[in-house]
Amino acid sequence: MEFNATFLVSAISFILFVFLMNKIFYAPLTDIISEREKLVDDTLNEAKNSRDTASGLLAERESKLNKAYDDSKKLISESVENANLQAKERTQQAKNNSVNEINRQKANLSDENDRIKSNLDNTVKDLAEVITSKILG
């Protein structure tokens, strides 16, 4: 195999072609590829951070909802207890008032009974005197 000037020129042309292609075509292409990889990595990291933030916010929301639920249950329970206590107090007060009214009415009836008995005794005495005065003379 012979090596002449044509081979040397072809080899130099090929090396020059590869060098120029590398500078003109491949270098900008690799720059664009690396920029896109960087953009994809940055976007992926941002998405992970957003997902972590969203998870944190969801957990915080859940804890706030649970706390609000517990607080509302506690408030309802306290309200029910207060209502029951007020109902018991009002019932007891009504019982006391009715017992007092019954005792007052019993006393009134007893006084009325005593007054009627005394009137009846006086009437009986008067009738007895009238009967005895008619019979005796």
DSSP-derived letter for residue 44 is H
pLDDT tens-digit profile of 5-58?
888 888 899 999 999 998 888 888 889 999 999 999 999 999 999 999 999 999
Q: What angle do CA 105, 110, 114 make, to 5 degrees?
A: 150
Per residue in 53-76, pLDDT tens?
A: 999 999 999 999 999 999 999 999
Q: Identify the CA nearest to 82 among candidates 94, 90, 93.
A: 90
Q: Among 37-41, 76-80, 131-135, where is mean pLDDT lowest?
A: 131-135
Query: 73 by DSSP, 3-state: which?
Result: helix
Residues in the chain, how many? 137
pTM across the whole model: 0.50
pLDDT at position 22: 87
Cα–chain center distance at 50? 28
CA distance 71 to 4: 96
pLDDT of residue 2: 67
